[in-house]
Structure 1
Amino acid sequence: MKIGLLSDTHSYIDDQILRLLDDKDEIWHAGDFGTAAVSERLSEIAPVRGVYGNIDGQDVRQLHPKVLRFDANGLDVLMTHIGGYPGKYHPDIRQEIRTNPPQLYITGHSHILKVMTDKSLNNLLHINPGAAGKHGFHKIRTMVRFAIEEGQLRDLQVIELGKRA
């Protein structure tokens, strides 16, 4: 199963992003789509799993939940937009992570790409793909691609999409 992961598009999707996603089995979006049109455009390429972010209006919130937990080819995944990092989880999600930690925890919001493990929670892998859009303080637009095989994450790629402005 091949996954394209992005976040914080803030209504911006360009041809480069679409090309990088065109062979994916699923596209995951960690919130701040900007508009439902972004979700709809991505769903023309592959099925979309996503969560709404703090800037998303009712159009996006009707399509995507605040928190999404699912099994992806044997991998337990938890996704939310504002979720914090290992050791500093957001209060909204902290209890669930501590009592029932997923194998993969995905967040957005910070516009800072991070891939890190939480050794205190059975090596939970945390990924924030950074921001793929042009709105925000980040300098480089980013996204992540990977594969999931029999419950294991493989072939993780961090992709720089170019300068924000």
Structure 2
Amino acid sequence: MGKLIGLISDSHSYIDEAVLRHLEDVDEIWHAGDIGDLKVIEQLPKGKGLRVVTGNIDDNFTRAAYPEEQLFEVEGVKVLMIHIGGKPPRYAKGVKPRIKQTAPKLFVCGHSHILKIEFDQSSNVLFMNPGAIGIQGFHQVRTLLKFELSEGQIKNLRAVELGKRAQARINQ
């Protein structure tokens, strides 16, 4: 059967109905850091698996609640998630050795506010950055990712555009 994952990042204390609507049907919600305010996590749909890492803007309260890194396995897919990951082939400092050490099938990060999915042959890992759901930053369009994990496979990956960042700011 598998699990449906909703992957978000860089909320920077902002979450709205557009995001929440897309997370209603998922089994697990992953947040790849820069939460901003813990109220964002509290507003997520209840009854879902939750995996969260902190980012560079997160305060000590958030850091006390969530780690900087998560290494876990879901449906036979090993996942490494951190906030600042860079991107293939230029990962952030220390990331490539960590990928080699942990050997995940999926590497998830945030920070850039740019949605990017790429298979990195040199590390044999699928790289995912869901972009940003928040309204802080230089990104033009807010995005998230949804995908299924089943029997060791990553399936039905889709990018969800949540609209222009400027429009969300006006509606705030």
- The TM-score, its normalising length taken from structure 1, stands at 0.95
Per the TM alignment, residue 84 of structure 1 is displaced from its structure 2 partner at its CA by 1.1
Instruction: Describe how 1:114-153 pairs up with structure 2 within 5 A.
Output: 114-122=116-124, 124-153=125-154
Contact 1:132–1:143 (8 Å) recurs in 2: yes
* Number of aligned positions between the proteins: 164
Residue 67 (str. 1) matches residue 69 (str. 2) = yes
Give distance in 1, aligned partners of 2:44 and 2:93. Answer: 30
Residue 23 (str. 1) matches residue 25 (str. 2) = yes
Identity of aligned residues (%): 49
Structure 2: which amino acid aligns with 1:132? I
Give distance in 2, aligned partners of 1:35 and 1:100. Answer: 30
Instruction: Describe how 1:26-65 pairs up with structure 2 within 5 A.
Output: 26-42=28-44, 44=46, 46-65=48-67
Structure 1: which amino acid aligns with 2:32? A
> Counterpart of 1:161?
162
Give distance in 2, aligned partners of 1:47 and 1:160. Answer: 23
Give distance in 1, aligned partners of 2:122 and 2:97. Answer: 14
Instruction: Describe how 1:93-132 pairs up with structure 2 within 5 A.
Output: 93-122=95-124, 124-132=125-133
Contact 1:10–1:134 (8 Å) recurs in 2: yes
Structure 2: which amino acid aligns with 1:112? I
Secondary structure class of the residue paired with 1:128: strand
Where does structure 2 lack aligned partners over 5 or more consecutive residues?
Answer: 167-172
Structure 2: which amino acid aligns with 1:164? R
Per the TM alignment, residue 55 of structure 1 is displaced from its structure 2 partner at its CA by 0.5
